[in-house]
Structure formats: structure tokens, C-alpha cells
Structure 1
Amino acid sequence: MKRIPQDFIVDLIARINIVDIVGHRIKIKKRGKDYWGNCPFHNEKTPSFSVSEKKQMYYCFGCGAGGSAIDFLMNYDRLSYPEAIEELANLQGITVPHVETSTETNRTQNQISGQNIRRDLYGLMDKLAQFYQVQLSTPEAETAREYLTRRGLDKTTIEHYKIGYSPDNWHLTLNYIAKTPQDKKLYDQAGMLVSNDNGNQYDRFRGRIMFPIRDRQGNIIAFGGRTIKANDSAKYINSPETTIFHKGYQLYGLYESQQINRNPEKLVVVEGYMDVVSLAQFGINYAVAALGTATTEDHIKLLFRATDNIIFCFDGDTAGRRAAWRALNVLLPTLIDGKQIKFVFLPEAEDPDSLVRKEGKTQFEQRLDNGITLSQFLFDELLVQVDLKTPEGKAKLSSLSLPLIAQIKAQSFALNLKQQLGDYLGFLDITQIDKLLQQYDSNESATPSVDDKIPPIKMKLTTMRILIGLLIQYPELAKLVPDINSLKQVKLAGIEIFIELLNICHERPNIITAQILAEYTGKPIAKQLNTLAIWEHRYAEDDISAIFSHTLKELYDNILAQRQDELIAKDRVTKLTEAEKKELATLILVLSKKD
């Protein structure tokens, strides 16, 4: 049988950020050094769920749930241990290795079988995409081909995006893919089957032009289907969310764009599949689209990782401007200095697909270059709501804009907006805006802080627990213990695990808390170490090294006292050697001075 190497798991944890993993699934907000939110594992009104970016750990002070990103995926997404590792590895674009092992329990065999589901789903979706591509060449797909021709798509573009056609038949695709009951089950898990009220199952996509949706690694994870029937009630339908597809976390066309240019100078965000493909047909191969959902924070993060210049392209009608405003509100808390954001609004009744075919590449790109900045769009939207000729209008502008500016962590962006707001309000000094923001911030934080509401974990503190707890939370403290050999003869509860932890930290100087805990997954000591990892010690950060050193000194004093007791006990039973007598005398002298 095979297993996932422990070294790979430890290294994988170093690649990810638990804040991104948790924040994609629940709402968390930074307060102090950690992120907080309502626990997803029990009902609560007051946030007691914390996520530590430094430790790469989460912990709920209400129900006690806690662990690493792997544990969170296992509990929240209900994945097995290997499946959670596979999910994190997929996000990083790396393959999970397996090694042979001679002893595997039935439980482990089941886990590995579960882990293979993702791999099998990727294989199934790739097979489906190939099937749809072949179907596009059949006589039945003539109408689909004519539609694509009318939209101006050539063979190269169709192949680049793997566009295909789903037969207009209730079971044809199912019968082709699902040769066995297991195949059918996998087909259903991929979201490709629909069940009616009678329990009958049939193909989700029928008689549609198919757009494969690929993740950043190029795996096909879902499909979008465009009808070619005039009487069809739904123009587009998408795959439902599955084990491998979360629509709020993917952008259509991003993989294809980065295949042409790994580091695109800019990306333009449009609304539909055909917008992306049509723009690419005209050489504008840097367009992406959200998958039937509004722009999310995860979409923004994907964009920021890919490029420094982002252009949001919307219809110029009321609905388009509303969509743009929603995108702006998602953008503000995630802004990063050095990124350039623009908004482009198209003429009425036009979309990128129709307009680029009318204007051509050069003129369309001029529109993109002439887009308005984020700050200009923000104030354009606010100014139509106020009358700056009156004090009341200026006060309203202040009340509308301050909550938006307060969300921005990027200093240059915030400074720019404060300067513009100051100009509109007639303030000569930007510090007046800062004072207003401070008032706003103080009103926002008038409620008790999360930390004040959370009771500390009750735990009897001993010398060893303090040392182990601090070492797990601050692995760099290991360098304060250069000589581990002197600890090996000590007979003290917990000394073995302390020595083991020191060795791990010495071997991996940059190891973090979650990686340390990953080394002990499945071991009896894991629960105790997890408790120490989330122990709220209440020590000032600047004092941690001194407290560790002082506690370590106490440990060495205990070692000396222990050795003194051993020699005294031996002396009562048998005579000490001359060397032992000298050692005892030295210990008595040293320890008496400490008293």
C-alpha cells in the first residue's frame, strides 16, 4: 500500500496561508494580531473563533475546535485526511507523492481510496471535455458551429479554450462516460447528472456549446453551457459546486491567459464566457470572467497574484454600475499598494463581445487604457448623492466616504482618497480627515474587544509546560538551547518531548507551529501539544525570549536539585565515591547560593 510522506505534509503547510483557506469559507476579520469570526462548528452570537497567521492555526474558545489548515478542511469540508492534503496541494499546483509501506490499516486504505476521488474527477472531466470537442464536429452540431462562426471564432481559438458541444440527448453523454456503476457515481459527483422528482437521472448539459472551466493548474473542474435554442429558458448554465469546483474561487480564462503570458501586464475582468473568448479572438488574450457570480475577495486575490494592473469592464447601464459598485466594495479591504485598478463602462446595449467586433482591437484597447481610476469611480458615485454647495451635503459626503476609506489597509490608496475627500470638503490640512477617521474608528470599536470576551484556557502551568508551549508557538527559541545533551539524563515528566521538539526546531530553523503539530498527527501526544499551541500566555511579545530563558534556568536548577537528591539518597544506603562527594558538595554550595 501507499502513504503520503510526512515531510511532504510539513512542507505543504509552509506553502499555504490558513487565513486564505478559512477566509474563503467563513467571514473573519482581523483584530489585533489574529483573525476572528463566528465559529462554523457550533452556534454562537459572539465571535470566539480565532485564526492565527503566525502559527497557521485556528482555535475556537467556545467549543474547543482547533488545528491546522488540514484539520479545518477535514471538519468544514468533511474531507478525509488525504483528501484535505490533496485539496491544499491542488491550490498550490503540486502533486501529492505516495510511498510504499508494508503495514497499512483498513482505515488508511479507505483514506487513500478517498484521496483518489479528486484525481478520478480530474480524469473524468478531461475525458468529458475531449468527448464534447469531438461532438462539435458531428452533423448534429452544425447549428452550434454556425453560431460560433457568426461570433467570429476561428479554429485556433476554439481549440485553445477547448470549446465543445453536448449532444441534445437525455442520456447519450452518460452512457458514453458511465460504463460501470462506479463511473456513474463519479459522473454524479462531478455534478453532471440531474435527478427529477421520480428519481430518474439524466445529463445536465444537453444541446449546448460547452466551455470547460480550468483551475490555475489547468485541470478541468467544471463546465459552462451556452444554449443554441431560441426557446430555452436559460441562456447559460454552469456546473454546480463540487469537491473540485468552487465558483467563488475561480476565474474563467485565467489559465488560458497565463498560458500565453505567464505574467500578464494587465487583466481585464468581463462578465461572460463569450466576452473572454471573443476578446481573445481579436488578440486581447488577457480577459477573465467570474463564473456566474459577483466578484469575490478570492477573485481579487487571484487577480493580484497574476498582475499589477486590473481593469473591470461593465455594461454602462444601471445594472452594470451596480455590479461595479459591488466589486469596488469587495476591492477596498483587499487593496495593495502598487496595484492599479480601473473601471470601464461600455456604451448602452453593448458588451465586450459585440463592441470588439464593431471597433476592433485598437479602439477597444484605447477604451481600456482610458478607463477611470478606482478613486474617480468611487467619488463619481458618491457625488451624485450630495450637494457640495451646502454644509449638509459636505457632511453627507463625509459620512458616505469615511466608512469606505476606513476599510483600506493600503497606505498610498488611503492617502490618495483622503486627499481627494479633503479637496471636496474644502480642508486645507489632511490631518482633519485623519481626525474624522479616528472618530469613526473609535465609534466602530466602542464595543468590547473580542479578546476581552474570551476566557483564557485553564491549564496548570509547570516548568515543562511553559517551555514546551512557548517553544511550539515560537520555534525560534530553540536557538537559546544549544546544548541538548545536558537534558538527556533528566528524569522529569515531559523532558523527552521537549528534547524531541528542540531537535526538530534545530533541524528546521524556519519551522512554524502548524508544521510542528503536523509531525505529531495521529500520535497520543498530539492533543496535549495542540492545547499548548493555542495557550494564551498573556506575555508581552518583547518578553518572550527572557521568559523562556528564565524558565529554562529553572529547569536546569531542577536538574541540579534532582541530582543532589539522588546523591543524598545514595549516601544513606552506601558510601559515595570521592568524585560523587565532591559533586554533592558543589551542588549544595551552588543551590544554597540560589536560595
Structure 2
Amino acid sequence: MSGRDLTLEEFKARIPLAEVVGRYVRLTRRGREHVGLCPFHKEKTPSFNVVESKGFYHCFGCGAHGTAIDFVMAVEGLSFPDALARIADLTGIPAPRRTGPERSEPSQRLYAANAAAAAWFRDQLADNAGREALAYLLRRGLEHETIRAFGLGYAPGERTALKRALVGEGFSEAELVAAGLLVRTEDGETFDRFRHRVMFPIADERGRIVGFGGRALGEARAKYLNTSETELFHKGELLYNLHRAAKPARERREIVLAEGYMDVIALSQAGLDHAVAPLGTAVTERQLQILWRLAEAPIVCLDGDRAGLAAALRTAERALPLMRNGQSLRFVILPDGEDPDSYLRRHGAEALAAVLSKAHTLSQMIWRLETQGRRFDTPEARAALSRRLRGFARAAGDPDLRASLWDQFRTLLDELTPRSVRGQKPQKPGTGKLRPGAWEGVGAARLAAGISRQETSREARLILPLLRHPEWLVGCEEELAEIHLEDPRLEKLRQEIVLWFADAPNLDADTLQRHLLQYGFGPILDQFAADLTQPSPPATETDEATRRRSWRDMLAAIRHKAALRRERATEDDLRLEDGERLNRWFYRLDRLLNRYGADDAESDDGSPDSAN
């Protein structure tokens, strides 16, 4: 603009709100407004409105409201000045200058120094000097196109190679020290910080290079070395690859937090381009807030070693006090010795995507990490576990979340109480064993004889066949995870089967039964398996398909009935004809569910017969 600079109010007035928001949200024009799916909460029906004539957006679902500047600050996690600069980049409208002191010239020179260093490192990787570094990257499975896309480079082993190159381009030693590229000794000597390392440029939210991570190729005290804290580089406030991952993460409403640079790059090469990583440190509050602006429940994907498990607990502890308004975390812990990079090379992108889709909730992960591989056969052990779990629940900053977590943990703790405490014959941990064929003849008549209530019988008919056919869960695990069973014993069994399925290496009955015995479900299995030892007759392929289809029909019916129960709970607020409609629906569903009720004695294996 010629003449004078824009004031802040003039800048706001010129911002094309719909154009800016439309870069992040797919908008549809509706009269004088634009509508779309809200980027700040999950929804299927658009409730996010952009009112360009008045210069604001508003979501009728979650209440999000503000101007274009507020929007960019929220979706990209930017400060106010950075949001102004980002809008200027998007629209070409010059941002207003600060009324206080001008941004110091050295800052812009630091950006330029880092950009020049990145270009020089790339050139070294392509030169003969970088052959070892390039061979390392190719050996790790990276393609040339990926190496170029992420700007990877090589820092030679010579002590002052970068220094000579950048001083030759006009940068002073003082500027290179301030950028974190050179180290100054006590006697005033300067030398390159990064030597004989593969170089990973690190950018801020706007894509400007602010520092580097270097992976040692030979012997070094630190395998990975980052830029030291500078005016531009604050590793607790940065996430590697955020500037690339933000857009696909918003579109997917999902973001993956991996452990390191190579994990992120390997995920991106495999088509999972919505991954970021911290810079070699534990996840900070600032980084969590950035992740939550992109997805309500980011997926934390960690290595399957002891360090990865410890990092998962640290992340949970850091997140609990901060979580509000539906914010959460999901966790994927890969098999021991695997990281996302190695898992991709061994099993492929489709397999890893499937693992990510089955991520544990935060509460499930806490329970697993606190109980896995431990015995709780003494009151002292159970009391210690209870104290640890209570500590996690108390750490939650949201009162509703705190109560919900403790309710869930307390229910799971009840299952660890031996039957002797409840007046039943105790079973020594680890000694539970199913009789051969114990689940081979779970017929309806026998099941009804062992389970008194019809509702429990129906629920057992849904859960118990999975002990023989866990593969039936494929494709409908989410449906089983969503329901709640009235019988507390079967509900706990359902929860554990869903958890087991999420990371089971093999979907076979023996593996599932061994898992259930290991986690203390022997008493429940014995209770339902008593006297059910008659083998079922051989089944043809058609019979198997029919039973599986009929089981899925029953799962769908139970889900629908649960939904209608919730609807009927508010029937007093409905018109009379609506109440009559619900009654008709319940009548139809009761008839459908009665096909699998205690009166049906036709089934030989606990699976419902076809309704047809």
C-alpha cells in the first residue's frame, strides 16, 4: 500500500473472512452466509456459520465465535502477531506494523541464516561428501523424492565447513552463533555445531526454518543433537513437521504424534501425512494445546520398548490436568522393538493404519500400563494399584472427567478381587484353565439353565460365541465397543475382548482364552462354562456364514434397542403419538431379540440361528 500503513482496524475490515476460513473448512453458501462442519469439534451436520457481512464466524454446536484473526490463531495455534502475518501471507494484504519497537533486524537475519544453512546441507548430501549420509537414508527405506520433500541434508565432519560457506555468503559469525549454527568457546573461537550428521530442518508453523536436528553417523556423545535455544528456536513450543501436517490433520480431524523425525518422515512417505513429533523431549503443555487445536483426541504412537511405555505414562500425566471439553488422547503402543518406521517396513502402510484406527483411550492405556505383567493376588498389591489409579483420576483438571475416570478404574479394580473375598472358592493366579471343549457346546437351552435372566441370556449369546470365533469381530469391533451390557460380568468380559482385539497379533480362540485367563477372567469363564462341555456337530461353510450373519443381526438389534432406551428416557417430553411410536418400536425389537432368547433351544454352539 502506498502512502501510509494500514491500521489494525483497517486490516481487519479488508480480510475476506470466507476466503480465509475456506482454506481450512469446506464451506457451502446458504443465503448471505456460509456454512460447514466446525473445525473445533466433531459433528456430522454443519453448525458452523461464517457471516462475512458482519465479520465473524459462529458455531451453534460448540459456541466457537470470533473474527478471522481469532480463527487463524485457534486452528493454527499462533500468537496474535503471527496470526496477522499468516493472514497477510494468505491474502496478500500487508499486515499492520507494530506500534511499539520494530522487530529487530537480527531476527530476520536469523531466518535467512537458517534457510542458507538448510540449502548448504542439502547440497552436501547430493555431493560426494554426503554419500554415507545418503546411503543411510536409503537404507532406512526413504525414497529420493521424500528426501527432497523434507529438505534433508548432511553436515560434513570438518570443524568449520559451514562457517566458511555462510561467512562467504555475507553472514557474520555473531549472526551464525545467534542462529545456533556455530558454537563459541570461552576463548572466542567459533566452530560448526553440527558435524558428520544427517540434518533435519525444523520449521515453525509458517514453514520458516528456525533450527535443525542432526543424527550422528559415527561415534558421538549424542545420537541426536538439536539447535540450542535461540531467539527463534524453542523446542518445547515446536513440533516437527507441523507446517506440513496441519492441513491434512484438519481435514482428517486426526493427528498422530510419533516419537522421532524418521518416524514422521516414514509415515508421510506411506501416505499418513498428518504426523508430527516432539524435538527429543517429553511432550509439553504447549505442544498438547497445539495438537488439540487440530484434533480432539490426538493419537500418540510410541515405540514398544520400556522407554516408549514410560513416555506414554508421562504424556498421560501431563495431559490430564489440561483436558477440557471433550479433549483426550489415544495411544498406540507398537510391539516391543518396533517403531512406526520399522513397523511400516515390516508390515506396510495398511497394517499400520489399521493399528492406528484401534488406538486405546487414555484410561485404557493407563490401566494396561499399570497392570500389564503384574500380579495382584495380595491385598497390598491391589491397594497399591488403587492408590496409583486414584492419583491419575485426581490429576484430571475437569471434575466430570475425574469422576468418570475413577468410576471406570474402580469397576476394573473390583474384577481383581479374588472370589474368596466374595465368599467363593478362590482361584490361584495363573492356574485357571479351561476344560477342553468347554465352549464347544454353548447351546441355548444349556445357557438358559445356567443364566437366569432373559436379558443376561441374550447378552451372553452375543459375547460367548466370540470365545470360539474372535474373527467375527473384524469389521464390527466399533459396534461392540459402543454398547453397554446390563450384566456386569459380561460387560467386563466385553470390555476386555474389545481391548484384546485392538492389539491382538492373531485372532484365534486359544490366544483369546489364554489372554482372558492371564487377566483374571478365569472365574467368569468357569461360571458360564459350567456343564457346557458337549461338542457341537461339524458345521459346513454355509452354516458358519449363517451363524455369523445372525450374530451380527443380534449385535445390531441390541445397539438399536439401547438407542431407543435412551430416547424413551425422555418420552415424558414427547408428544403422545411419539410415545406410541416408541412403544411400537420396542415391541418390534422385543420380538426380534426374542429369537435369541432363552426359549430358543435350537442353537448348538451359542451362536444365534438365522432368522430366515
Relative to the length of structure 2, the TM-score reads 0.51
Q: Residue 252 of structure 1 contacts residue 289 of structure 1 at CA under 8 Å; is this kept in 2?
A: yes
Relative to the length of structure 1, the TM-score reads 0.52
Trace 1:54-69 onto structure 2 (pairs within 5 A): none
| Aligned with 1:201 (options 186, 190, 197) | 190
Gaps of 5+ in 1: 12-85, 102-107, 428-595
Trace 1:86-485 onto structure 2 (pairs within 5 A): 89-90=81-82, 94=86, 97=95, 111-112=101-102, 115-179=104-168, 183-229=172-218, 231-260=219-248, 262-383=250-371, 395-410=383-398, 413-424=401-412, 426=414
Q: Alpha carbons of 1:385 and 1:414: their partners in 2 closer, same or farther (altered >3 Å)?
A: farther
Matches of 1:423 and 1:97, distance apart in 2: 56
Matches of 2:291 and 2:10, distance apart in 1: 27
Matches of 1:171 and 1:410, distance apart in 2: 53
Equivalent position amino acid for 1:400 in 2: R
Equivalent position amino acid for 2:314 in 1: R
Matches of 1:100 and 1:390, distance apart in 2: 66
Shift of residue 411 of structure 1?
5.3
Matches of 1:5 and 1:151, distance apart in 2: 51
Deviations along 1:145-201, one digit per CA (max 9) or x if unpaired, are: 111111121232122211122233222211221248863221110011112354321
Q: Alpha carbons of 1:384 and 1:165: their partners in 2 closer, same or farther (altered >3 Å)?
A: closer
Equivalent position amino acid for 1:90 in 2: D
Q: Residue 160 of structure 1 contacts residue 256 of structure 1 at CA under 8 Å; is this kept in 2?
A: no
Pick which of 241-250 and 267-276 moved more: 267-276
Equivalent position amino acid for 1:125 in 2: N
Shift of residue 260 of structure 1?
4.6
Matches of 1:361 and 1:3, distance apart in 2: 54
Partner of 1:496: none
Matches of 1:342 and 1:100, distance apart in 2: 41
Shift of residue 262 of structure 1?
4.5
Equivalent position amino acid for 1:282 in 2: A
Q: Alpha carbons of 1:196 and 1:393: their partners in 2 closer, same or farther (altered >3 Å)?
A: same
SS at match of 1:212: strand
Deviations along 1:377-423, one digit per CA (max 9) or x if unpaired, are: 21233446997666655554443233322232345533431321331
Q: Residue 248 of structure 1 contacts residue 299 of structure 1 at CA under 8 Å; is this kept in 2?
A: yes
Matches of 2:322 and 2:4, distance apart in 1: 38
Q: Residue 258 of structure 1 contacts residue 264 of structure 1 at CA under 8 Å; is this kept in 2?
A: no
SS at match of 2:172: helix
Matches of 2:250 and 2:107, distance apart in 1: 26
Partner of 2:540: none
Matches of 2:227 and 2:186, distance apart in 1: 20
Shift of residue 10 of structure 1?
12
Shift of residue 328 of structure 1?
0.7
Q: Residue 85 of structure 2 contacts residue 95 of structure 2 at CA under 8 Å; is this kept in 1?
A: no
Matches of 2:118 and 2:5, distance apart in 1: 30
Matches of 1:325 and 1:290, distance apart in 2: 16
Q: Alpha carbons of 1:147 and 1:100: their partners in 2 closer, same or farther (altered >3 Å)?
A: closer
Pick which of 396-405 and 312-321 moved more: 396-405
SS at match of 1:350: coil
Matches of 2:315 and 2:249, distance apart in 1: 25
Matches of 2:280 and 2:9, distance apart in 1: 36
Q: Residue 337 of structure 1 contacts residue 413 of structure 1 at CA under 8 Å; is this kept in 2?
A: no
Shift of residue 263 of structure 1?
3.6
Shift of residue 222 of structure 1?
0.6
Matches of 2:342 and 2:98, distance apart in 1: 56
Q: Residue 164 of structure 1 contacts residue 209 of structure 1 at CA under 8 Å; is this kept in 2?
A: yes
Shift of residue 259 of structure 1?
4.9
Q: Alpha carbons of 1:137 and 1:8: their partners in 2 closer, same or farther (altered >3 Å)?
A: farther
Q: Alpha carbons of 1:10 and 1:382: their partners in 2 closer, same or farther (altered >3 Å)?
A: farther
Q: Alpha carbons of 1:188 and 1:377: their partners in 2 closer, same or farther (altered >3 Å)?
A: same
Shift of residue 208 of structure 1?
1.7
Q: Residue 236 of structure 2 contacts residue 286 of structure 2 at CA under 8 Å; is this kept in 1?
A: yes
By relative contact order (CA 8 Å, sep 6+), the higher-ranking structure is: 1
Deviations along 1:456-514, one digit per CA (max 9) or x if unpaired, are: xxxxxxxxxxxxxxxxxxxxxxxxxxxxxxxxxxxxxxxxxxxxxxxxxxxxxxxxxxx
Pick which of 304-313 and 257-266 moved more: 257-266
Matches of 1:366 and 1:418, distance apart in 2: 30
Equivalent position amino acid for 1:124 in 2: A
Q: Residue 275 of structure 1 contacts residue 352 of structure 1 at CA under 8 Å; is this kept in 2?
A: yes
Matches of 2:145 and 2:85, distance apart in 1: 26
Matches of 2:194 and 2:10, distance apart in 1: 38
Q: Residue 223 of structure 1 contacts residue 238 of structure 1 at CA under 8 Å; is this kept in 2?
A: yes
Shift of residue 140 of structure 1?
1.3
SS at match of 1:157: helix
Matches of 2:323 and 2:175, distance apart in 1: 40
RMSD of aligned Cα (Å): 3.4
SS at match of 1:122: helix
Shift of residue 273 of structure 1?
0.8
Matches of 1:262 and 1:251, distance apart in 2: 16
Partner of 2:603: none
Shift of residue 245 of structure 1?
1.0
Q: Alpha carbons of 1:337 and 1:411: their partners in 2 closer, same or farther (altered >3 Å)?
A: farther
Q: Alpha carbons of 1:415 and 1:186: their partners in 2 closer, same or farther (altered >3 Å)?
A: same
Shift of residue 227 of structure 1?
2.1
Shift of residue 316 of structure 1?
2.2
Shift of residue 271 of structure 1?
1.4
Gaps of 5+ in 2: 13-77, 89-93, 416-612
Q: Residue 11 of structure 2 contacts residue 95 of structure 2 at CA under 8 Å; is this kept in 1?
A: no
Pick which of 235-244 and 257-266 moved more: 257-266
Trace 1:66-85 onto structure 2 (pairs within 5 A): none
Matches of 2:188 and 2:8, distance apart in 1: 46
Matches of 2:394 and 2:84, distance apart in 1: 32
Deviations along 1:312-334, one digit per CA (max 9) or x if unpaired, are: 12222222211111111001011
Q: Residue 296 of structure 2 contacts residue 326 of structure 2 at CA under 8 Å; is this kept in 1?
A: yes
